[in-house]
Each structure stands twice: as C-alpha cells, then as structure tokens.
Amino acid sequence: MQKAIEDIFDNKPAAYTPDHFALFASFKRALNAGEIRAAEPDSTQACGWRVNGWVKKGILLGFRLGGIVDMSIDASRQPFTDKSTYPVRQVGPNDGVRIVPGGSSIRDGVYLGKGVTCMPPMYINVGAYVSDGTMVDSHALVGSCAQIGRNVHISAASQIGGVLEPVGALPVIVEDDVLIGGNCGVYEGTVVKKGAVLGTGTILNRSTPVYDLVRGEVIRADEDGPLVVPEGAVVIAGSRAVTNGPGKDWGISIYTPVIVKYRDEKTGTRVQLEDLLR
C-alpha cells in the first residue's frame, strides 16, 4: 500500500481510475482501524516518535480524489458540502465510543479507541488517532494527524493543532494519561509526554520555550525537532519580563509556559473526576 500511495501522490495521473479509488478506500479503512498512523512511537528518535510521511500523502491524496458533494442531512435547513472522499465517520454502539448528542463531528479516516467520549460540540479531523479511554470535551479540536494517547482528558475549548503539511513534519503528540486544561493550545508538532498536566490557558508551540522552575532549565525545540514537554510535568501559563529596550522601560512582560512541579499523588487525586463520568 505504501508504494502504491507514494507512486500516485508523487506522479499525479492524468485521470484517476476505479483502482485508485479502491486503493484509497482500503487506505482509509486502515486509518479507521488504527492499522496505519501518521506518526507512531519509535525509541530510536530523540522525541520518542517518528512521522510516517506516506500516510500523510495518502490523506492528501484523498482531497485530490474527492469532488465537492452535498452532505446535508436537510439541505433546506442546514446545507453541508465537502469532499466526497471524507464524509462523517460511521460509529456504532459496538465500537464502544460515546458521541454525546449536540453537534459534534468526526471526519472519516480517524481512529477511535474503546471508551473514547466526545462531548458536544467538538471536532476530530482526518488522520487523528485517539486512543482508549480519552475524553474530548466541548468545543475542543483534535487536528489532522494529531496522535492522542490513552486516558487523556482534552478539556473544554482546547485546541490540538493539526500538522498535515509538510508531509515530513511531526504532528502534535499527546501521550498517555495527559490532562489538558480548558482553553489550552498545543501546536506545531509539540510532544507532550506521558502524565503531563497543562493548566488552564497554557499555549505550547515550537517558538516559545518552556521554563522549568523545578530543574532549573529552559526547554526549547531543537532546530529540526519538536518542543518536548517532559513526562509528568505540570505546566501553567506564566510570563517573563522584557529585560532590555523599550519593553524594559515600559515594564512589559511576555507570555511563557512554566513548569511549576512534577506530577505527584496530590496532582493525581485532583484529576480523577473523569473516572466518575465513564
């Protein structure tokens, strides 16, 4: 499958044939089943993950293959149009996934593990991988190709950015047992390691360093790598003073994420609420 996808993507044919559409249908079934992923764990990589660029190519190929069609339930009241290759993902009771009524949407080409809970309204985009027991709360977004681990809580209005292009770029990774507080944003291929906690309003991206008050160090993204938030880190939204120029004279501070502690028993007790909701 990988070779066929890459051949079609890199050498665009004059016209797409039924065989091309059949290949893409098989590719999308594998995405839905979690058999292929845009990124996967790899202990040989410094961040612990590697990107599967050919999978991203397959997702992009779907946009080339599809035409705009009417996807409305009731076109006269609420019209919807999108690419024919990416309808809403079909989910049934036997899948063990809760999609609470109220306007949520999950695009086809998404893996959903057992026990995933989707609170309305939220959105999960194509290529995302959401593992067992994770909760996606109201007004939250899981972007294209984002990889979400087991028992993660993505709180209300939080944004997990999508990284579909360039195909070689690592998507956002959120590992097992992470708590993402309300109104957080995780972007640009950031990796949040196992058990970390992001306090309300924390924003993470490759451009903003994280100041670790516990270990006395500043965490930055490598030149070609992602920002990596350490395992068990408790990160909050902070600020640091501008130390020169007009900013210093004006008393200006700029936003920065700050690690104030590492997860302990007390932290674990405070994040057990979601266990009562299952």
| Mean pLDDT score, 254-263 | 97
Q: Is 25 left (phi over 0), alpha (psi -120 to 50) or beta?
A: alpha
Residue 277 lies in a domain: no
Residue 264 lies in a domain: yes
Residue 17 lies in a domain: no
Token pair of 151 as six digits: 């028992």
pLDDT digits (tens, 9 = 90+) for 62-117: 999 999 999 998 999 999 999 999 999 999 999 999 999 999 999 999 999 999 99
Task: Give me the CATH number covering residue 182.
Answer: 2.160.10.10
Residue 145 lies in a domain: yes
Q: How far apart are the C-alpha atoms of 242 and 14, rounded to whole Å?
A: 56
pLDDT at residue 264, as a whole number: 84
Residue 53 lies in a domain: no
Residue 111 lies in a domain: yes
pLDDT at residue 277, as a whole number: 53
Q: Is the pLDDT of residue 265 over 80?
A: no
Q: How far apart are the C-alpha atoms of 36 and 27, rounded to whole Å?
A: 8
Three-state SS sequence of 131-168:
CCCCEECCCCEECCCCEECCCCEECCCCEECCCCCCCC
pLDDT digits (tens, 9 = 90+) for 134-169: 999 999 999 999 999 999 999 999 999 999 988 999
- Averaged pLDDT of the chain: 94
Q: How many residues are there in the chain?
A: 278
Burial class (CB in 10 A: 0-12, 13-18, 19+), 49: buried
Element (H, E) at 49: strand 49-51
Token pair of 256 as six digits: 């920065």
pLDDT at residue 270, as a whole number: 52
Q: How far apart are the C-alpha atoms of 59 and 85, rounded to whole Å?
A: 10
Q: How far apart are the C-alpha atoms of 159 and 156, rounded to whole Å?
A: 9
pLDDT digits (tens, 9 = 90+) for 229-246: 999 999 999 999 999 999
pLDDT at residue 64, as a whole number: 96
Nearest CA among 172, 193, 176 for reference residue 235: 193
pLDDT at residue 223, as a whole number: 84
- Under the banding of pLDDT at 50, 70 and 90, the label for residue 180 is very high
Q: How far apart are the C-alpha atoms of 99 and 93, rounded to whole Å?
A: 10
The total domain count for the chain is 1
Q: Is 215 left (phi over 0), alpha (psi -120 to 50) or beta?
A: alpha
* 144 and 162 Cβ atoms separated by less than 8 Å: yes
Range of the domain at 207: 94-268
Residue 6 lies in a domain: no
- Under the banding of pLDDT at 50, 70 and 90, the label for residue 227 is very high
- Please enumerate in sequence order all residues whose Cβ is within 8 A of that of 66, keeping only pairs 6 or more positions apart, or say none: 83, 84, 85, 86
Task: Say which amino acid occupies 205.
Answer: N
